[in-house]
Amino acid sequence: MSSSSSRSIEKRTETLDTIAAVLPIDRRDELAELLTDQDVETLRHLVNEGMGTNTLRALTSDLAYLQAWSLAATGASLPWPAPEALALKFVAHHLWQPEQREIDPHHGMPDIVEQSLRDQRFLRSTGPHAPDTVRRRLASWSTLTKWRGLTGSFSSPALKSAIRLAVRATPRQRRRKSAEAVTGDVLAKLLATCAGESLRDLRDRAILMVGFASGGRRRSEIAGLRKDQLTIEAPITVEDGPPLPSLSIHLGRTKTSGTEHDEVVYLTGRPVDALNAWLAAARIDSGSVFRAIDRWGNVSKRAIDPKAINDIVKQRAALAGLEAGQFSAHGLRSGYLTEAANRGVPLPEAMEQSRHRSVQQASSYYNNATRRTGKAARLLP
């Protein structure tokens, strides 16, 4: 590697470090080699423009995948703007028919491209991609093209037709993000596995309770939570007991809040106690709330990776004797609304805490809970 290339990579690494607080990156060094100077400069520009953290994280992930795919498939970085033929190649490599591949081994993504993406940990699953994933990455590609002041071919009839025909030829059953909702009874079993006083138990207990009680927060919101987002509120008075501790969580702009609204949710009682116990034990008075813990019990200064939230839910499910594959971090979100429905909490009140904007999406959890226990489902008891 030439000295100029090394300096360029070092400069990109430094730039990625400057935006890490807003855009958590767990593969910084790898991205510094994969992305171009212009890619990194575009990301920094988006940070300065105030784009939402979750959107930035998704754009970075998609951009890294697209660059890795382009290098593996064409031997060159993504061209800007991308020609229509390259976008069509992307669709052909990701939306293919397993039955056709058995007949024609050259159908779909070439083995050499697939192996390259697997070696770099960009590709884990087998089979064709989900159509929504392909559409999202094309949308990210289009968005980044526009931010560079260029015009792409992502709305071309040929590309739209290719996607439509590929999806129709390979129907896929839509699967929920979490097969099982983490409702109150399931949550109790998970919490029982982290009832100890070790740092890991204290952290996982706080993650589960805060993630659920704050309305079923997304894993990125849990992982990215910072101390300055927490505000102590006046205790809540109850009739048959001592006042309950309360705090507010200022989420800022979320996936559904838009650009002009900061979201706020509240914690009361046991989740507050669990969170305070973790903060005190880990000696966290600023910065990221939830952090990684190494094998020697040392608490990292950096935020925990969002994927780790998913891993914690699965690990605790396995320890509780449940089928870990049936649970994920999204189960906290669906579980919150399902539990609210089971307890008779009005939908608008539950949505105030979950911050769902779509009544149709939020009400689906209510409908499922009501249908399962309703009279219509037990005409022949």
pLDDT score for 259: 44
Q: 33-38 long-range CB contacts below 8 Å, 24 or more apart?
A: 33/9, 34/64, 34/67, 34/68, 34/71, 35/63, 35/64, 35/67, 36/67, 36/77, 37/8, 37/11, 37/12, 38/80, 38/148
Total domains, the chain: 2
Q: Domain containing 324: what range?
A: 184-377
Looking up residue 267, the CATH number of its domain turns out to be 1.10.443.10
For residue 93, the SS3 value is helix
Residues 189 and 46 in one domain: no
* Inside any domain, residue 290: yes
* Inside any domain, residue 340: yes
Q: State the Cα–Cα distance between residues 204 and 198, nearest whole angstrom.
A: 10
Residues 125 and 268 in one domain: no
Q: State the Cα–Cα distance between residues 267 and 245, nearest whole angstrom.
A: 8
pLDDT score for 255: 52
* Inside any domain, residue 165: yes
Residues 159 and 233 in one domain: no
Q: What token pair was written down for 209?
A: 């309770």
Q: State the Cα–Cα distance between residues 370 and 381, nearest whole angstrom.
A: 16
Residues 306 and 212 in one domain: yes
* Inside any domain, residue 156: yes
* Inside any domain, residue 178: no
pLDDT score for 105: 80
For residue 268, the SS3 value is strand
* Inside any domain, residue 50: yes
Residues 203 and 244 in one domain: yes
Strand partners, 264: 250
Q: Residue 246: CB partners within 8 Å, gap ≥ 6?
A: 232, 233, 234, 235, 236, 266, 267, 268, 272
Q: State the Cα–Cα distance between residues 319 and 327, nearest whole angstrom.
A: 13
| 120 CB-contact burial (10 Å; exposed 0-12 / middle 13-18 / buried 19+) | middle
Q: Residue 118: CB partners within 8 Å, gap ≥ 6?
A: 124
Q: Using the 3D structure, point to which of 169, 204, 225 is the last residue of a domain.
A: 169
Residues 162 and 16 in one domain: yes
Residues 243 and 125 in one domain: no
* Predicted confidence (pLDDT) per residue in 308-327, tens digit: 999 999 999 999 999 988 89
Q: Using the 3D structure, point to which of 169, 201, 226 is the last residue of a domain.
A: 169
Using alpha carbons only, give the angle 343, 345, 348 rounded to the nearest 5 degrees: 155
Q: Using the 3D structure, point to which of 169, 202, 219 is the last residue of a domain.
A: 169
* Inside any domain, residue 151: yes
* Inside any domain, residue 295: yes
List, as one string, the DSSP characters of 271-313: HHHHHHHHHHHHT--SSBSSEEE-TT-PEEEEEPPHHHHHHHH
Q: State the Cα–Cα distance between residues 45 and 37, nearest whole angstrom.
A: 12
- CB neighbourhood size of 19 (10 A): 18
Residues 239 and 106 in one domain: no
- For the CA atoms of the chain, what is the radius of gyration? 23
Please list the ranges in the chain whose pLDDT falls under 70. Answer: 1-32, 47-54, 169-179, 253-262, 356-381
Residues 224 and 122 in one domain: no
Residues 228 and 358 in one domain: yes
DSSP label of 377:
G
Residues 206 and 265 in one domain: yes
Residues 126 and 228 in one domain: no
List, as one string, the DSSP characters of 235-261: EEP-TTSSPEEEEEEEEES-TTT-SS-
* Predicted confidence (pLDDT) per residue in 6-53, tens digit: 666 666 565 555 555 444 455 566 666 777 777 777 777 776 666 666
pLDDT score for 10: 65
| 127 CB-contact burial (10 Å; exposed 0-12 / middle 13-18 / buried 19+) | exposed
Give the pairing type, strands 263-268 and 244-252. Answer: antiparallel
pLDDT score for 22: 46
Q: State the Cα–Cα distance between residues 154 and 55, nearest whole angstrom.
A: 19
pLDDT score for 289: 95
Does this model's pTM top 0.75? My answer is no
